[in-house]
């Protein structure tokens, strides 16, 4: 996107201006316009079009804020803030050990900040306790990709390859609302009648199948794995397998075939509710597409945010391998990345088990390489820490994290079982939150540090295709706001960390290049100059190469060059069918809001359109509980209670209700979600929680609270 001052005659979208050391401050308000770029072709969603309004928002945090004994945050100087942090770290570690200090990062951080945050945690804070909110988003898909292919890159092909597909199977992704600029890439499959969407809800994306003969498969929540096994069963037992591909490029086929025997379509129908004829039709269309115009299988969070998310993603990969899709010139498998830097954020060290370049922290060769780049003894690099949910569960415990840094995350709204998470934050000895606004998590902090927004910083991001993109500074931040690179560099100096810590993004990127060299996510052949020239840079991009827009053409990333097929089956824990009056709660996004809503709930236009959470409930289900459209309902389980308006809709199944997860307080859907996790990826069970729904006893205070919140947001925006 391009950021320009608003003018009477707006110019046509074009390339961004060359960066300058100190961008001039615009005389007019800023606006965002689309750029002609392959992934979005100049299109932006509502969140993108309105994003500039946050750059000069009156609610912006512009100086360090320390919480007093009265619970009120008051401004202090940066020197005071740095000294307080250093003292808290030293005191905590003296009393409780190095791992009593923790770091929670974010998938929206630039590559440079994500890289330096991992280094900062391990060398300056000397802790293993670092993880990030991508564990809530991409971890199951990443684990499945690594297991099957030996590498995790969301799309192992350019997104434009989808344009010529005749069949696309979309698994648990509502791109029409979450990624609207992605939708045009589905048009070829829609025109061919080959768009197939799997979603328990009649989402906006599922509605795209209505014209042209597409299919919407609407399984019982939590049964996606069984559905995929049923489709694979048809491929195998109708003799539709790409036998040549299987023999030449995979291992594990025989075991997978045996595991499919129990999942014939009629049985799968009883599990999922999807008619057997649609299961067969889906398999046959995928095969036909692979042999003619091209077939793609794309997975999203809807099938991955489960306790069996890794196995479900693996089942999707197995299906793609049976069809011979990965590595094909006209077909493929991929997973869709949601956060601003969801791909790059998980590559360079802010995960608990990872070092830069997508290296395993337990690999002796990886540790030796990184130690050499950092100029330290390998023994100074801690071992693996705790994945996000376990890290949050440890907060405030005697042997857990007692001092926490939060960067680019709002866990009070976004984490599972947020009541327990909030209690953990309040039990900490010291909480530091870096943010642009006083988010719900920042409100709990002892110290809030104001940091730069996207238009105020240089750096790089890696998109869902593995393409590295430059972020250019367009304006200076408000006085008092600092880059997180500056913060980490200053604290590393005060804490007498080994190695060097620069606050210059390009210098950090140059070190990242060296650290990533030879790793799966190799950036060593990429530099700022080539990105500023507009050259496409897809990793792996070793020095001397031209990058890798398409993976797997010459084999997979395992030592033998073959993909690994892993037999999977639904676990008893994954059986989420409810026999009593309870319902299945699914959570997800709205077109107008993003993630925890900390930013989008401060945009007047977006809040006017979607000011509060609404519980989507089937009319028959609502009638049985005496709930009318627009009335308030309570949604409860053993973890908490949500109070919100009901919206009657035939888009949800009678056994299911849907809540967006962007809202705080009594509308917070994650009060109800469970902190149970996938045993492989650490992904929480976000998508299928058991809840009870009833009509609210009376019109709640919520109705007034929403109006007050809207008024506050509007006043802040003026």
Query: What pLDDT is stored for residue 3 in this prediction?
Result: 58
* 246 occurs within a structural domain: yes
Q: Give the residue from 487, 401, 483, 482 showing the smallest Cα distance to 88.
A: 401
* 193 occurs within a structural domain: yes
128 and 192 belong to one structural domain? no
120 and 147 belong to one structural domain? no
pLDDT digits (tens, 9 = 90+) for 181-206: 889 999 999 999 999 999 998 998 99
226 and 310 belong to one structural domain? yes
pLDDT digits (tens, 9 = 90+) for 473-527: 999 999 999 999 999 999 999 999 999 999 999 999 999 999 999 999 999 999 9
* 563 occurs within a structural domain: no
**CA 263, CA 266: separation in Å to the nearest integer?**
8
Boundary-marking domain end, from 335, 350, 376:
335
127 and 171 belong to one structural domain? no
* 342 occurs within a structural domain: no
pTM: 0.91
Query: What pLDDT is stored for residue 701 in this prediction?
Result: 59
502 and 610 belong to one structural domain? no
400 and 261 belong to one structural domain? no
100 and 208 belong to one structural domain? no
* 264 occurs within a structural domain: yes
Secondary structure tally for the chain: helices H, strands E: 24, 28
Across the range 12-17, mean pLDDT stands at 33
Within 8 A by CB and 6+ apart from 451, the residues are 434, 435, 436, 481, 482, 483, 484, 487
Boundary-marking domain end, from 470, 502, 532:
532
Across the range 354-373, mean pLDDT stands at 97
208 and 261 belong to one structural domain? yes
Query: What pLDDT is stored for residue 555 in this prediction?
Result: 95
Q: Give the residue from 141, 142, 136 showing the smallest Cα distance to 675.
A: 136
Angle at 496 between CA 476 and CA 442, to 5 degrees: 50
Reported as a pLDDT band with limits 50, 70 and 90, residue 339 is confident
More confident: 46 or 477: 477
Question: For 436-532, where are the alpha helices, taking DSSP H only?
Answer: 484-494, 505-516, 528-532
**CA 250, CA 143: separation in Å to the nearest integer?**
18
More confident: 665 or 122: 122
Q: Give the residue from 90, 109, 138, 14 showing the smallest Cα distance to 512.
A: 109
pLDDT reading at 581 higher than 90: no
pLDDT digits (tens, 9 = 90+) for 679-696: 999 988 888 889 999 999
133 and 143 belong to one structural domain? no
- What CATH number does the domain containing 297 carry? 3.40.228.10
pLDDT reading at 470 higher than 90: yes
Tell me 134's DSSP state. Answer: G
* Sign of the CA dihedral with 323 first, then 324, 325, and 331 last: negative
More confident: 44 or 340: 340
Within 8 A by CB and 6+ apart from 579, the residues are none
Q: pLDDT over 90 for what percent of the chain?
A: 73
pLDDT reading at 90 higher than 90: yes
Reported as a pLDDT band with limits 50, 70 and 90, residue 6 is very low
151 and 127 belong to one structural domain? no
What residues make up the domain containing 700?
583-717
Within 8 A by CB and 6+ apart from 240, the residues are 234, 283, 284, 287, 322, 323
**CA 29, CA 717: separation in Å to the nearest integer?**
13
pLDDT reading at 12 higher than 80: no
* 599 occurs within a structural domain: yes
Domain count, the chain: 3
pLDDT digits (tens, 9 = 90+) for 612-657: 888 999 999 999 999 999 999 999 999 999 999 999 999 999 999 9
71 and 210 belong to one structural domain? no
Across the range 412-418, mean pLDDT stands at 92
Cβ contact 486:503 at 8 Å: yes
pLDDT reading at 591 higher than 90: no
Least trusted range by pLDDT, from 218-232, 419-433, 600-614: 600-614
**Which structure tokens are listed for 77?**
């100087």
Given the DSSP bridges, would you call strands 101-105 and 130-132 parallel, antiparallel or unpaired? Answer: parallel
**CA 658, CA 585: separation in Å to the nearest integer?**
6
pLDDT reading at 441 higher than 90: yes
3-state secondary structure of 355: strand
Mean of all residue pLDDT scores within the chain: 89
Query: What pLDDT is stored for residue 711 in this prediction?
Result: 34
More confident: 286 or 414: 286
Q: Give the residue from 168, 170, 169 showing the smallest Cα distance to 178.
A: 170
**Which structure tokens are listed for 628?**
């009318």
Reported as a pLDDT band with limits 50, 70 and 90, residue 17 is very low
- What CATH number does the domain containing 712 carry? 2.40.40.20
**CA 482, CA 459: separation in Å to the nearest integer?**
15
Matching residue, tokens 């999942």: 263
Query: What pLDDT is stored for residue 50 in this prediction?
Result: 67
Maximum average pLDDT range among 57-61, 307-311, 561-565, 702-706: 561-565
Query: What pLDDT is stored for residue 572 in this prediction?
Result: 67
pLDDT reading at 578 higher than 90: no
**CA 260, CA 226: separation in Å to the nearest integer?**
10
Query: What pLDDT is stored for residue 32 in this prediction?
Result: 77
* 458 occurs within a structural domain: yes
Q: Give the residue from 449, 465, 395 showing the smallest Cα distance to 92.
A: 395
Boundary-marking domain end, from 495, 511, 532:
532
Query: What pLDDT is stored for residue 551 in this prediction?
Result: 96
Least trusted range by pLDDT, from 42-51, 142-151, 326-335, 707-716: 707-716
* 4 occurs within a structural domain: no
pLDDT digits (tens, 9 = 90+) for 226-245: 999 999 999 999 999 999 99
**CA 296, CA 168: separation in Å to the nearest integer?**
5
pLDDT reading at 368 higher than 80: yes
- What CATH number does the domain containing 74 carry? 3.40.50.740
114 and 231 belong to one structural domain? no
Reported as a pLDDT band with limits 50, 70 and 90, residue 31 is confident
Query: What pLDDT is stored for residue 713 in this prediction?
Result: 42
pLDDT reading at 124 higher than 90: yes
Query: What pLDDT is stored for residue 506 in this prediction?
Result: 98
């Amino acid at each position: 996107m391009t950021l320009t001052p608003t003018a009477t005659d707006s110019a046509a979208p074009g390339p961004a201006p060359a960066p300058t050391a100190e961008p001039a401050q615009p005389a007019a308000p800023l606006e965002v316009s689309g750029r002609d770029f392959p992934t979005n072709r100049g299109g932006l969603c509502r969140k993108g079009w309105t994003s500039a309004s946050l750059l000069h928002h009156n609610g912006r945090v512009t100086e360090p804020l320390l919480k007093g004994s009265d619970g009120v945050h008051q401004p202090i100087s940066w020197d005071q803030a740095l000294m307080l942090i250093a003292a808290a770290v030293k005191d905590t570690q003296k009393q409780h050990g190095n791992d009593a200090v923790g770091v929670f990062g974010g998938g929206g951080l630039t590559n440079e900040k994500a890289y330096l945050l991992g280094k900062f945690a391990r060398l300056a804070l000397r802790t293993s306790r670092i993880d990030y909110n991508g564990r809530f988003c991409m971890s199951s898909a990443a684990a499945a990709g690594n297991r099957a292919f030996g590498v995790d890159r969301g799309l192992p092909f350019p997104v434009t390859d989808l344009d010529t597909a005749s069949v696309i199977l979309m698994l648990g992704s509502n791109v029409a609302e979450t990624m609207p600029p992605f939708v045009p890439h589905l048009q070829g499959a829609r025109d061919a009648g080959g768009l197939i969407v799997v979603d328990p809800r009649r989402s906006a994306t599922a509605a795209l199948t209505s014209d042209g003969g597409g299919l919407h498969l609407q399984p019982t929540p939590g049964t996606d794995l069984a559905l995929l096994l049923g489709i694979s069963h048809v491929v195998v037992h109708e003799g539709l397998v790409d036998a040549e591909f299987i023999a030449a490029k995979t291992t594990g086929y025989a075991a997978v075939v045996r595991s499919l025997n129990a999942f014939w379509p009629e049985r799968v129908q009883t599990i999922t509710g999807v008619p057997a004829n649609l299961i067969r039709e889906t398999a046959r269309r995928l095969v036909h597409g692979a042999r003619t115009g091209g077939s793609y299988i794309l997975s999203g969070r809807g099938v991955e945010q489960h306790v069996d998310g890794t196995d479900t993603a693996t089942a999707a990969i197995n299906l793609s391998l049976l069809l011979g899709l990965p590595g094909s010139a006209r077909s493929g498998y991929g997973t869709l990345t949601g956060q601003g830097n969801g791909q790059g954020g998980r590559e360079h060290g802010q995960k608990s088990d990872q070092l830069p370049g997508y290296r395993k922290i337990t690999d002796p060769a990886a540790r030796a390489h990184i130690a050499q780049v950092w100029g330290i003894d390998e023994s100074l690099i801690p071992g693996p820490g705790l994945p996000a949910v376990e890290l949050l569960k440890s907060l405030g415990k005697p042997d857990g994290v007692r001092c926490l840094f939060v960067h680019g995350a709002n866990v009070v709204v976004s984490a599972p079982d947020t009541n327990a998470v909030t209690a953990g934050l309040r039990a900490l000895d010291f909480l530091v939150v870096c943010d642009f606004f006083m988010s719900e998590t920042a409100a709990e902090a002892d110290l809030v540090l104001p940091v730069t927004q996207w238009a105020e910083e240089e750096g790089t991001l890696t998109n869902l295709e593995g393409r590295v993109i430059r972020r250019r500074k367009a304006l200076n931040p408000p006085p008092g706001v600092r880059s997180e690179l500056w913060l980490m560099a200053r604290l590393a100096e005060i804490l007498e960390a080994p190695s060097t810590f620069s606050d210059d993004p390009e210098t950090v990127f140059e070190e990242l290049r060296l650290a990533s060299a030879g790793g799966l996510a190799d950036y060593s052949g990429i530099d700022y100059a080539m990105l500023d020239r507009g050259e496409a840079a897809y990793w792996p991009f070793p020095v001397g190469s031209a990058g890798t827009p398409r993976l797997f053409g010459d084999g997979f990333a395992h030592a033998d060059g073959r993909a690994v097929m892993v037999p999977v089956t639904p676990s008893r824990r994954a059986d989420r069918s409810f026999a009593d009056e309870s319902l299945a709660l699914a959570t997800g996004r709205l077109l107008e809001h993003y993630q925890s809503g900390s930013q989008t709930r401060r945009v007047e236009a977006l809040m006017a359109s979607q000011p509060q959470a609404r519980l989507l409930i089937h009319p028959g289900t609502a009638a049985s509980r005496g709930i009318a459209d627009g009335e308030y309902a309570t949604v409860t389980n053993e973890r908490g209670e949500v109070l919100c308006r009901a919206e009657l809709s035939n888009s949800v199944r009678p056994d299911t209700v849907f809540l967006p997860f962007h809202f705080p307080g009594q509308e917070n859907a994650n009060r109800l979600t469970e902190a149970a996790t996938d045993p492989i990826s650490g992904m929480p069970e976000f998508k299928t929680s058991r809840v009870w729904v009833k009509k609210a006893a009376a019109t709640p205070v919520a109705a007034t609270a929403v109006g007050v919140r809207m008024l506050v947001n509007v006043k802040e925006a003026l």
